[in-house]
Structure 1
Amino acid sequence: MTARINRNTRLCMSLSARPGNFGTRFQNHLFEALGLDYVYKAFTTTDIEGAVRGIRALGIRGCAVSMPFKEAVIPLIDELDPSAASIGAVNTIVNTDGHLKGYNTDYLAVVQLMQRHAVPTETRWALTGAGGMAKAVASALVDYGYANGTIVARNVGKRRDLADKLGIAHADEAREGTQMLVNATPIGMAGGTEADALPFPLQSIAASEIVFDVVAIPPETPLIRAARDLGKRVITGDAVLVLQGREQFVLYTGVQPGEVEVDAAARVALAP
């Protein structure tokens, strides 16, 4: 890949507190497979304002935005797509001649996953989390008809704000009759401080029918393993990662990759 990089090569990047390899592998594989003169590199920063200025100043085409920057970038960019504006969280910035527009492809991925798994809209669900990813998931569910939800985040103020904004309930724990549990926190993430923890108690998992964990690395989180052991249907975070990554690729390049190319890129990106 480095042999073809030249002065016209377009740069895409990511900003995250803990950069991983998925985006770099996934995007670069697609760039190369489709013969596009782009390259992708992951970064972290302690100066988010400076980093966003750099995107604009250096003509960086696109930037994936991960925790904890999804909300912090909003006042630093020029425009929000409805997918980001309704949520109040950005996971993708596209630079068009110095104009920075924010999108949320997590939102789009969640909608696609609910459709793929044929989850009925009347499903009663509980979601833990109140950050940028939680807002994307909860907003996507409510916007697409999954109105019977409860936010069970630890931070009472944040969960109340999110629940009130969406017109749904909030509580200390999943209520009786909850059919789908959704983890939109970093609990269970490899390398995190709670990598071995469960975001929901075992009794709640046992009482559910579907468990959806947005944590992608590892795909088999403690929550997913517990759900499988209890015979529950599961939706794993790596599926979110692949779908939202494809949407980012399209935003950066204007090219729609085929399923074969996306599947191949996902295998490369998710390899140990």
Structure 2
Amino acid sequence: MTARINRDTKLCMSLSGRPGNFGTRFQNHLYETLGLDFVYKAFTTQDIEGAVRGIRALGIRGCAISMPFKEAVIPLIDALDPSADSIGAVNTIVNDDGHLTGYNTDYLAVVALMRRHEVPTDIRWALAGAGGMAKAVASALVDYGYTNGTIVARNADKRAALADRLGLAHAAETPGDGGMIINATPIGMAGGAEAEALSFPMKAIEHAAIVFDVVAIPTETPLIRAARAAGRRIITGDEVLVLQGREQFVLYTGVQPDDEAVKTAAQVALAP
């Protein structure tokens, strides 16, 4: 157990439009369990350029990046890991002596989840969203052989840009032909303007084989509740959250926590 914060304690942080408690609880629990001299704190900002300058100037070791900053930070940092470069979205910054590198651990988490749930690569899928998280999910799927997909979004230019870059179809409405549907929008997120809304119509949910909601808080989003009631296979956003948080922890500390430590940290982080 770390004795107390001192002048040598390394600081990690997050930047989000709506800060939550998951990252703070998850990371700090692992620091304490493994006896690491780190501390983690969540922040929001109206000045993303100033915040990134602060990461560099103050020697902050790492920073998780959430909506709406995943694309805005790219011109402010020094390098992109391939996981972020191919997507055009960053969810993690690592500071090595003032050199800031952007990663995307959401991408890595999605790949791991497809393998864990044994989702066949020939499945048809439709993804709602065209922002930073949608880019991570779609890019991960395509890079690992899931090429039979459709990007669904109201903004025609954004959905076309993402779909064309990855060789996918795009549409304003969800194709109702089964397969896997994936929500990568903020719809259903606790505290959001559409917290009680469904990200897909009921017809699409009832015809889907697998329903995947990237929204992690709450775990039981309206989409997941509807899919569960309809007897669909589900993949929940907290699975993404835990896997990507583990990857961030390793990037910040260089330490690989064991599965039991991660499971306990996730339970602590997701507790009410």
Q: What is the TM-score normalised by the length of structure 1?
A: 0.99
Query: Aligned residue for 1:83?
Result: 83
Query: Aligned residue for 2:60?
Result: 60
Instruction: Give the Cα–Cα distance (whole angstroms) in 1 for the partners of residues 194 and 136 of structure 2.
Output: 22
Query: Aligned residue for 1:270?
Result: 270
Q: Map of 1:120-269 to 2, 5 A cutoff?
A: 120-269=120-269
Query: Aligned residue for 1:25?
Result: 25
Letter in 2 for 1:61: R
| 3-state SS of 2:95 partner | strand
Instruction: Give the Cα–Cα distance (whole angstroms) in 2 for the partners of residues 143 and 2 of structure 1.
Output: 40
Letter in 1 for 2:229: D
Q: Residue 176 of structure 2 contacts residue 203 of structure 2 at CA under 8 Å; is this kept in 1? A: no
Q: What is the deviation of 1:174?
A: 2.2
Instruction: Give the Cα–Cα distance (whole angstroms) in 2 for the partners of residues 17 and 178 of structure 1.
Output: 34
Query: Aligned residue for 2:104?
Result: 104
Residues 152-187 of structure 1 show CA distances to partners (whole Å, capped at 9, x for unaligned) of: 111111000000000010012222423100000000
Q: What is the deviation of 1:249?
A: 0.1
Instruction: Give the Cα–Cα distance (whole angstroms) in 1 for the partners of residues 239 and 176 of structure 2.
Output: 28
Query: Is residue 43 of structure 1 aligned with residue 49 of structure 2?
Result: no
Instruction: Give the Cα–Cα distance (whole angstroms) in 2 for the partners of residues 176 and 231 of structure 1.
Output: 17
Instruction: Give the Cα–Cα distance (whole angstroms) in 1 for the partners of residues 63 and 154 of structure 2.
Output: 30
Instruction: Give the Cα–Cα distance (whole angstroms) in 1 for the partners of residues 233 and 45 of structure 2.
Output: 38
Letter in 1 for 2:199: P
Identity of aligned residues (%): 79
Instruction: Give the Cα–Cα distance (whole angstroms) in 1 for the partners of residues 78 and 166 of structure 2.
Output: 25
Q: What is the deviation of 1:145?
A: 0.2
Name stretches of at least 5 consecutive residues in structure 2 with no aligned partner.
none
Instruction: Give the Cα–Cα distance (whole angstroms) in 1 for the partners of residues 175 and 200 of structure 2.
Output: 12
Letter in 1 for 2:133: M
Instruction: Give the Cα–Cα distance (whole angstroms) in 2 for the partners of residues 200 and 264 of structure 1.
Output: 33
Instruction: Give the Cα–Cα distance (whole angstroms) in 2 for the partners of residues 61 and 150 of structure 1.
Output: 38
Q: Residue 126 of structure 1 contacts residue 178 of structure 1 at CA under 8 Å; is this kept in 2? A: no
Name stretches of at least 5 consecutive residues in structure 1 with no aligned partner.
none
Q: Residue 148 of structure 1 contacts residue 168 of structure 1 at CA under 8 Å; is this kept in 2? A: yes
Q: What is the deviation of 1:3?
A: 5.3
Q: Residue 13 of structure 2 contacts residue 43 of structure 2 at CA under 8 Å; is this kept in 1? A: yes
Instruction: Give the Cα–Cα distance (whole angstroms) in 1 for the partners of residues 99 and 67 of structure 2.
Output: 23
Q: What is the TM-score normalised by the length of structure 2?
A: 0.99
Q: Residue 2 of structure 2 contacts residue 36 of structure 2 at CA under 8 Å; is this kept in 1? A: no
Runs of 4+ in 1 over 6 A off after TM superposition: none
| 3-state SS of 2:115 partner | helix
Of 175-184 and 23-32, the range deviating more from structure 2: 175-184
Instruction: Give the Cα–Cα distance (whole angstroms) in 2 for the partners of residues 104 and 30 of structure 1.
Output: 21
Instruction: Give the Cα–Cα distance (whole angstroms) in 2 for the partners of residues 220 and 185 of structure 1.
Output: 15
Instruction: Give the Cα–Cα distance (whole angstroms) in 2 for the partners of residues 9 and 148 of structure 1.
Output: 47
Letter in 2 for 1:259: D
Q: Residue 2 of structure 2 contacts residue 32 of structure 2 at CA under 8 Å; is this kept in 1? A: no
Matched positions, count: 272
Query: Is residue 10 of structure 1 aligned with residue 16 of structure 2?
Result: no
